Chain A
C-alpha cells in the first residue's frame, strides 16, 4: 500500500520535475548544468527542491536585531544663574549615539531665578515679575566619549562608564527674553546595566544680556545628577 502511494506520488512528481527541469534548461540554455543534472538520478531531482527552500528562512537579518542607540533621561540638580543666586534645576535629555565616540543630545530644562543682591539690599525693589523668574532653556549639543572604560570600586565591583565632553548651542528664556546660549561641560556616565545609566554632569550655559544696565556675558553653572534609559 505504502509503496503504491509512493509510486503514484513520485511518478507524478518526477514527471512535473522533469518538465520543470526541461523548461529551466531550455531557458537557461547552459550546457554545464545540463551535464550536471544529467548525472543526477531522477529520484534526487524530485526531492531536492522541497529541501532547498528551507534555509532561506534562516537568513540572518542584521537590521532586525534590536539596537540601543537612543538614550532618554531625567536630570535634577542645582543651577547657579549669575547675579540671581542658585536654585533647583530639572531637565530632560534625549541622545542619539552616532558612533561609540560621538553622540548628539537635546536638553530642555527649567529653573527659577532668585533675588539679586540689589533687590535684597534695596528693600522692596523688584527687577522681575514672578513670571520672568521662571527660566527655561533648551539646547542641542554634540558629545564626545573621552575616556570610555571600566571603573573600579573596591576589589569586587567593576563599572562600565566613562567621561564625556559636551558642547552646543541653544536658547534661554531669561527675564522674559530669549537669549542665544552656548553651553559646554563635562559629564560622567556610569552604566548600571545595558539599558540603564547614571549621569553626573557639570555644564556652563553662557549668554549675553543687558538686563542690569550694560551688556554682559552671563555664566551659569548647572550641576546635575541623572538617570537615563537606552532603547
Chain B
C-alpha cells in the first residue's frame, strides 16, 4: 500500500514535470506570464485603479490565492476568484505584495530598484536642456556603462540661439570615481561635430561645420526607482578651419532613466 501511493505520487510528479517542461519548451508569445500567489498579510487592499487616488473596493484576505495579471509603475493588477464563476480584479501597491508568498510558501521577491541598481546601471537614456555661450541647447543621450566606474555616451544636441542655430553630436568616455555615492561625480572627455547656421533674418553669414573636442565634469543625483538627475559643465574646443580655435562653454541639466 505504502509503495503504491508513493509510486502514484512519483508518477504524478513526473507527469507534472514533463508537462511543465513541455510548456516551457514551446512558450506561447500571446499568453502573458501571470503567476499565482498566496496572500500572507492579514489583508491586502484592492483599488479600482493604479494609484493612491483610486478607492479601495475590496480586500483579499490571508490565504487567498490571487493571480498577478500586470504591472503599472508600482502597482500590480491582480485577480481574486470568488466562488466558481465570479472574480474580482483590482490594483495593489507593491509594498503590500512584499509579504505575499509564492505557491511554495517562499516570500515574493520584488526586485529592488535603489542605490544598488543605480550603481550597477548598464544603460542610460537621458534628456535635458542647457546653454552654450548664450544659446539654448536641448540634448538627448544614450550611455552604456562598462562597469560602475567607466561608461561610454553618445549625445545629440540642438542649439537654438538668437542669431544662429545648429546641431552638435558627440561621443564621450565617462569616469566616475565614487559610483556608490548618491551624488556621484564624474569627469568626461570626448569628441564630436558641430554645425552652425545663421538665422534667416541675419544677412551675410555662412554655415559652419567643425570638429570639436571637449572635457567636462558634473554629478549624477539618484532620485528614486530608475530615475536620476544630472548637472554638467563642458568646455569645448572648436577646431575651426581658421587660424585660431574657438572655445565654447556649455552648462547642462537634465534627467535620465536607467536600466
Chain A contact residues, CB within 8 Å of chain B: 6, 47, 50-51, 53-55, 57-69, 96-100, 102, 104, 106, 140, 142, 145, 147-150, 158, 160, 162, 169-171, 175-180, 191, 194, 208, 210-211, 215, 230
Contact = CB atoms under 8 A, between A and B. Distances in A.
Nearest to B33: A64
Contact of A6 (B3, B75, B109): B3
B207 interface: no
Contacts of B138: 140, 169-171, 180
B48 interface: yes
Contacts of B129: 169
Given A66-B69, A208-B162, 15 more contacts: A50-B14, A59-B102, A62-B110, A62-B111, A65-B71, A68-B72, A99-B74, A148-B49, A148-B53, A148-B54, A160-B48, A160-B54, A178-B158, A194-B70, A194-B77
A65 B227 contact: no
B211 interface: no
A143 to B, nearest CB: 13
Contact of B49 (A142, A160, A170): A160
Nearest to B158: A171
Residue in A104, A160, A191 with the greatest tally of chain B CB atoms within 10 Å: A160
A150 B71 contact: no
Given A68-B71, A98-B257, A194-B70, A60 B49 contact: no
B102 A67 contact: no
A176 B200 contact: yes
A58 to B, nearest CB: 5
Contacts, number: 143
A222 to B, nearest CB: 18
B10 A50 contact: yes
B55 interface: yes
A145 B72 CA distance: 14
Contacts of B34: 65
Interface in B50-73: 50-55, 68-73
Contacts of B74: 99-100
19 contacts: A50-B14, A51-B9, A51-B10, A54-B16, A55-B103, A57-B24, A58-B104, A61-B33, A63-B111, A65-B33, A67-B70, A68-B70, A98-B73, A99-B224, A148-B49, A148-B54, A171-B158, A175-B200, A179-B160
A50 B13 contact: yes
B103 A230 contact: no
B136 interface: yes
B110 to A, nearest CB: 5
